Amino acid sequence: MRDVTVLDDDPVAGLQLASLRGTATSPEHFRHHARRLGAMLALRAVADLPAARGTVGSPLGGAPSIGPGRTIVAVPVLRAGLGLLSGVHDVLPTALVGMIGLERDAATLQARRYYFKVPPLDGTWVLVLEPMLATGGSASDAVTALDAEGAEQVTVLAVVATQQGVDRVLTDNPGVRIVTAAIDPGLDEQGYIVPGLGDFGDRLFGTPH
């Protein structure tokens, strides 16, 4: 599917994902692998980003330079999305940052927005950082809010997704892209991705589930 990129053929991304899935991975190492995978997802998301060309002064004279031709805005969905942000900044250090706070109702599995603050988005490329694209409700709500702010291109970065979540996002928001490390078989009765990797936020911050 043109709007979905899965890094399932990338052994380096696969190594990071396997470590994130592993039950023995400590919060410290979980954060480390999330950062690395965040960088890989971000690089794939901007592979066709328009370029801006110029010159830079080197010690021995002027040299041609190339950089992003659009402002990039990273928008982590709180709190789990924060785990990918440092990796995004490793490869896109000029990216601006917005924040969206969403909570999932345990009974309905629907997302409720409690926080929204983003920089001006007109003409920008936005990376929505939503590590677990389960039902797709949270990501879809985030993308809908960002589209209303005038972004040129919106891409959802996920560590693990389900086909249900992918379909929900693309149906609700035509033109959006998704980059993920894996698409897992489905959800359990609590709405968790199976096999997934558990609660990303809890494992990231070491909080009990």
Number of Cβ within 10 Å of residue 129's Cβ equals 28
Active site annotation includes 104 = yes
Catalytic residue, candidates 108, 112, 188, 207: 108
Active site annotation includes 184 = no
Catalytic residue, candidates 21, 70, 79, 104: 104
Return the structure tokens found at 24: 């023995």
The answer to whether 198 and 190 have CB atoms below 8 angstroms apart is no
> In whole angstroms, what is the distance from residue 95 CA to residue 72 CA?
5
The answer to whether 158 and 133 have CB atoms below 8 angstroms apart is yes
> In whole angstroms, what is the distance from residue 203 CA to residue 25 CA?
9
Active site annotation includes 108 = yes
3-state secondary structure 109-171: CCEEEEEEECCCCCCCEEEEECCEECCCHHHHHHHHHHHCCCCCEEEEEEEEEEHHHHHHHHH
Catalytic residue, candidates 3, 90, 147, 199: 199
Place of tokens 């991304």: 13
> In whole angstroms, what is the distance from residue 51 CA to residue 66 CA?
6
The answer to whether 180 and 147 have CB atoms below 8 angstroms apart is no
* Residue partners of 192: CB distance under 8 A and separation at least 6: 134, 198, 199
Catalytic residue, candidates 90, 147, 172, 202: 202
Active site annotation includes 21 = no
Please identify every residue annotated as catalytic.
Answer: 104, 108, 199, 202
